[in-house]
Structure 1
């Protein structure tokens, strides 16, 4: 899956009308994920992301310990959308990332996240609530 396909998959899954908004959703989610993952895992995931998306994940990230609700809040703030839309966009992004990277890499980085992140890493699209 290349970068354009990933952005289109997010747009389709999250019902985002235009490409720029979908791209912003993907970038916001990955940027916040980059703050959450520890350096080595962040770098490993970055290496498998298509296009320039890997540059959003810092190689030397310390792995900040914020919970899932804070994750969604940070995505909402970064993307400039309400919390419920940020959740939908972040989940759609993770579903696309699951296809874009190897199964092993997806399992490695998701296993680094606490159990409350299960809502984020379920790979089925979620409807707006």
Structure 2
């Protein structure tokens, strides 16, 4: 999947414009990179289209420990979306990410996150 197709899919799933979906996708991936180990971030970057993998950064930072509420708050602050909009948007990004990565790789990502992230991802 190319980055444009990924963003179009997020826009359709979230009900946001393509511009908002692009911003949401970048913010979600950036927050995810802050939460994942450097190795997992680099591995994830290799699996994403180049335009999206740039949102993950260099993959050299240590993982920060924060939960889903803080994750959503960071995405909301970056995008200007309300918390409910950001929650729905993150769900759309996670669904699209799952589709892009497949079950095994998506499970590797979720394994580094608290269970509440899995609950969000499974609501889709």
| Superposition TM-score, scaled by structure 2 size | 0.93
Unaligned runs of 5+ in 1: 125-129
Match of 1:9 in 2: 9
Match of 1:114 in 2: 114
Match of 2:25 in 1: 26
Match of 1:127 in 2: none
How many residues in Structure 1 have an aligned counterpart in Structure 2? 123
Whole-angstrom distance in 1 between the partners of 2:67 and 2:118: 11
Match of 1:64 in 2: 64
Match of 1:55 in 2: 54
Unaligned runs of 5+ in 2: none
The structure with the largest helix share of the pair is: 2
Contact 1:75 1:86 in 2 (8 A): yes
For residue 52 of structure 1, give the secondary structure of its aligned residue in structure 2. helix
Q: Can you list the C-alpha shifts for 1:43-67, whole angstroms capped at 9, x where unaligned? A: 1011101132111113112110011
Contact 1:44 1:105 in 2 (8 A): no
Cα root mean square deviation, aligned: 1.3
